[in-house]
Copies of this chain bind each other. A is one copy, B any other.
């Protein structure tokens, strides 16, 4: 293993994070629902949210004793986050077969009353119930009754934790990126909204109307045309972006991902994306992860 970690930092941002727990009669149903609910949500640059699957849940940890999936939905703006929760739960969880949905951050101080608002869909036939001590709504629908918790917590989390994998071949970099994503899937409280980024960007462009454009210094096919930041033998580069419920879990995820990525043959260097500290509040130094 000759991969080395560059002495640099990932620049991360504040973001509002909500976390929902979708339950169903089996994992296939819960996961299909979670994928639809968290789709079109890689980056708030042009998506209405950043979202992804956190982890699967065992029956003994869900309010209704069925299997489940934790998903996270994020937006820097509180009002927009609430709208996204209403739309994504209302359009992607409510209609999904056998699902119920509960607050995945029950200890959060701030709450959106998503269930309270969606229950009006019951047109007066909805009823308040308790599920394992939690205030929920039972809404009659075609398949039976849909159960949704009254309120959903949200907290101040972190977006844009990241690291960049450089390798001797596109495939080596991709294998390392996949390995990293799977390792990160075991860290609670984080998502990789993309989940793998093949097209990193820089701020600005030569076109007046475009605020972000390809980061030519990291493009293997432009090595001979620009002042490249790529070592000579690099032919493939991917970035992993991580959002989390706290700075600590984002660091845990970066550590887990980098550790396994460096084991993949052909990986040469791990670095991170930052903007010289001008944009994000949090600096995560790569080397400090492994102290």
A-to-B contact residues, CB < 8 Å? 25-28, 35-43, 45-48, 58-60, 64-67, 86-88, 90-92, 94-99, 120-125, 139-146, 164, 167-179, 181-183, 185-186, 194, 196-201, 205-207, 209-210, 212-216, 218-222, 225-226, 235-239, 256, 259-260, 263-266
Contact = CB atoms under 8 A, between A and B. Distances in A.
Contact of A265 (B26, B170, B179, B182): B170
A140 to B, nearest CB: 4
12 contacts: A25-B260, A25-B263, A35-B35, A40-B40, A46-B91, A59-B186, A95-B194, A98-B198, A143-B174, A143-B236, A170-B265, A171-B172
B264 A25 contact: yes
A65 B260 contact: yes
Given A35-B35, A221-B144, A183 B123 contact: no
A196 B217 CA distance: 36
Rank and list the top 4 A-B pairs by shortest CB-CB distance, nearest first. A39-B39, A123-B213, A171-B171, A141-B199
Contacts of A35: 35, 39
A65 B263 contact: yes
Given A169-B265, A221-B144, A263-B66, A199 B239 contact: no
